[in-house]
């Protein structure tokens, strides 16, 4: 089993789409099918498309129950349990079973996925049990897809798009798309028109247009201009889509459970925190900045500069996979 199992559940954290969310980190860092240039967790050292067992579903349930109990003790409201790990959540062979175990808790379940494995029937079956699913659609043109998402070499674009289309026909929860716009990569009108046309054929509740708001994997990555963002919005709306921006900072309403270092490391493992958010978090926990200094000195936390702000991110750890 992967180590650091006590870091499976984190939060609640503020979500731009889901309110107050307890995150579920069901993939060890950083195993993914993509190596997106804008990824907030940095470059992808381990790429794979074969689903595998990482954590036992019973351990995921246990850690989530602990986090829920701690949140209730501190009167922290929770709207969703969200699979938003250090890699691609559908790589987890036991994802379906984990969802089954979590459903009796009575809290809505969400999954944020890059959709690269939705061409597999067992992945679609697992996600059908959830209440809310977000799928990534950053490009329509093959060359653009490979430039921005940098997929595993064996993945096929048309196969992925068909998998999303099939899922959208049978999913009874809320299905949304997210398109991350990167300056000079996927912000041309032709590319956006093609993306919008593809998305319009799916059964969706909403399409989100996002820009990088946290330190990206590649330093050259920049958000699109306001003009490009406005153009993208109107292109998507012209296809009859309900469109919203994901361009704002989530705010500083991070939760605490009484264990300051553990809470800070848990949150920053998958959700980099801006310096002002960290300060407010520490104030609410009645702790000082020495907590951050200590974690930095132990190299458990690292600081990154991005667009005039300092962000704090947990240092990634190696993993061991179970058979």
Are 33 and 47 in contact by the 8 Å Cβ rule? The answer is yes
Instruction: Give the residue-averaged pLDDT of 257-264.
Output: 82
| Residue carrying structure tokens 């889509």 | 241
Report the mean per-residue pLDDT for the chain.
89
Q: Tell me, what's the pLDDT at 118?
A: 98
pLDDT at 11: 86
**Residues 15 and 71 sit within 8 Å (Cβ to Cβ):** no
Q: Please give the C-alpha separations between residue 166 and each of 118, 201, 306, in angstroms, as whole numbers.
A: 9, 11, 38
Return the domain boundaries, the chain.
5-314
> CA 17 → CA 4, 94, 176, 252, distances in Å?
28, 26, 10, 15
Tell me what the mean pLDDT of segment 115-135 comes to.
98
CATH code for the part of the protein at 5-314: 3.20.20.70
Residue ranges of alpha helices (H) inside the chain are 57-73, 95-102, 121-127, 142-148, 157-170, 189-200, 226-237, 260-268, 275-284, 290-297
pLDDT for 174-222, tens place per residue? Answer: 999 999 999 999 999 999 999 999 999 999 999 999 988 888 999 899 8
Interhelix angle 189-200/226-237, nearest 10 degrees: 30
pLDDT attached to residue 247? 74
Where do the H-state alpha helices sit in 154-188? 157-170
CA dist., res. 11 & res. 21, Å (int): 7
Across the range 248-256, mean pLDDT stands at 61
For residue range 13-29, what is the model confidence (pLDDT) as tens digits? 888 789 899 999 999 88
Q: Is the pLDDT assigned to residue 298 strictly greater than 70?
A: yes
pLDDT in tens, 26-85: 998 889 999 999 998 888 888 999 999 999 999 999 999 999 998 888 888 899 999 999
- Predicted TM-score (pTM) of the model is 0.81
Strand partners, 207: 177, 243
- The confidence band for 321, taking pLDDT boundaries of 50, 70 and 90, is very low
The span from the CA of 231 to the CA of 236, in Å, is 9
């Amino acid at each position: 089993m992967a180590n650091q199992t006590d870091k499976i559940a984190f939060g609640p954290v503020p979500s731009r789409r889901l309110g107050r969310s307890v995150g579920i980190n069901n993939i060890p860092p950083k195993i993914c099918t993509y190596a997106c240039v804008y990824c907030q967790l940095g470059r992808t050292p381990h790429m794979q498309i074969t689903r595998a067992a990482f954590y036992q579903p019973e351990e995921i349930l246990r850690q989530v129950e602990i986090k829920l109990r701690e949140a209730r003790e501190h009167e922290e409201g929770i709207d969703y349990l969200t699979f938003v790990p250090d890699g691609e959540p559908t790589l987890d062979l036991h994802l379906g079973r984990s969802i089954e175990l979590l459903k009796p808790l009575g809290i809505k379940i969400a999954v944020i996925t890059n959709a690269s494995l939705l061409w597999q029937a067992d992945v679609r079956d697992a996600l059908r049990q959830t209440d809310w699913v977000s799928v990534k659609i950053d490009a329509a043109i093959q060359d653009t897809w490979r430039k921005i998402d940098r997929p595993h070499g064996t993945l096929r674009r048309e196969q992925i798009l068909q998998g999303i289309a099939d899922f959208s026909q049978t999913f009874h929860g809320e299905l949304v798309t997210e398109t991350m716009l990167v300056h000079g990569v996927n912000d041309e009108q032709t590319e956006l028109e093609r993306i919008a046309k593809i998305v319009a054929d799916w059964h969706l509740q909403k399409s989100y247009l996002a820009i990088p708001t946290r330190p990206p994997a590649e330093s050259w990555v920049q958000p699109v201009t306001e003009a490009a963002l406005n153009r993208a919005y109107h292109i998507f709306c012209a296809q009859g889509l309900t469109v919203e921006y994901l361009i704002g900072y989530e705010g500083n309403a991070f939760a605490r459970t009484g264990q300051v270092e553990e809470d800070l490391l848990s949150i920053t493992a998958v959700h980099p925190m801006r310096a002002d958010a960290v300060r407010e978090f520490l104030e609410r926990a009645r702790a000082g900045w020495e907590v951050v200094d200590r974690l930095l000195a132990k190299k458990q936390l690292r600081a990154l500069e991005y667009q005039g702000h300092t962000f704090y991110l947990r240092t990634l750890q190696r993993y061991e996979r179970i058979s």
